[in-house]
A and B are shown apart, each in its own frame.
Chain A
Amino acid sequence: AQKITQTQPGMFVQEKEAVTLDCTYDTSDQSYGLFWYKQPSSGEMIFLIYQGSYDEQNATEGRYSLNFQKARKSANLVISASQLGDSAMYFCAMREGAGNQFYFGTGTSLTVIP
């Protein structure tokens, strides 16, 4: 089974609107971390936001927030007030327990329309 599933290969959003990128995960560990990364067309991977499995509140970083629903094993990224510079690939990732491996989803390509 896939550890991380991103079901939206591509998404479009109007500039200044909010958008939600979906991510579900699969683990039997109680302790794990969930991450989102942005990859612009230039290719570098940029860390956006982190949510720990024991965190009771949803993580927020500026215009990014992580909608964490533990029972549903989902960790959706919400980008508010989209900007043209948000056009990029977005990857969800998980790190289990004290393990060293990071598991990545297949990514969602976001296009912001002016």
Chain B
Amino acid sequence: NAGVTQTPKFQVLKTGQSMTLQCAQDMNHNSMYWYRQDPGMGLRLIYYSASEGTTDKGEVPNGYNVSRLNKREFSLRLESAAPSQTSVYFCASSEGSTGNTIYFGEGSWLTVV
């Protein structure tokens, strides 16, 4: 009953450090997403992957890179963390048609100091 699993749940980084957020889904979904959530801003799409081997930029991709390692896994990398990247990050997945909902991981709380 795992659904979407993301790690770590909490992380504190120093400015300039790098880190990777890991995400895996066990629902055999083609599409995977990374969102960030900031107060008053809702959920903003960072990157998404429509299928294995493809990735596309979302609304706020600057400062991030992603890898769709296989159908199950989609990682988000911060190469040189900045305080502006302090946020809650959600990984999500979905099947391809309009009527399919999106399933979220539990979120990763990232603080950059």
Contacts and interface: CB of A to CB of B under 8 A. Distances in A.
Q: Chain B's interface: helix, strand, loop or mixed, by majority?
A: strand
Interface residues of B, number: 27
A48 B99 CA distance: 13
B41 A106 contact: yes
Contact of B99 (A52, A91, A105): A52
A111 to B, nearest CB: 16
Contacts, number: 59
Identify which of B41, B42, B48, B92 gathers the most chain A CB atoms within 10 Å of its CB. B42
Nearest to A2: B42
Interface in B25-67: 31, 33, 35, 40-45, 48, 50, 58
Interface in B63-113: 88, 90, 92, 94, 96-104, 106-107
Contacts of A43: 88, 106-107
B90 A45 contact: yes
Interface stretch (A13-21, A64-72, A79-87, A96-104): A96-104
A102 B33 contact: yes
A100 B42 contact: no
Contacts of B98: 31-33, 52-53, 95-98
Contacts of A107: 42
A40 to B, nearest CB: 12
Contacts of A98: 96-98
B72 to A, nearest CB: 17
Contact of A104 (B31, B40, B42, B88): B42
Interface of A: 6, 9, 31-33, 35, 43-45, 47, 50, 52-53, 91, 93, 95-98, 100-102, 104-107
17 contacts: A6-B42, A33-B100, A43-B106, A45-B92, A50-B101, A52-B98, A52-B99, A91-B42, A91-B43, A95-B98, A95-B102, A100-B94, A101-B48, A104-B42, A104-B44, A105-B42, A106-B41
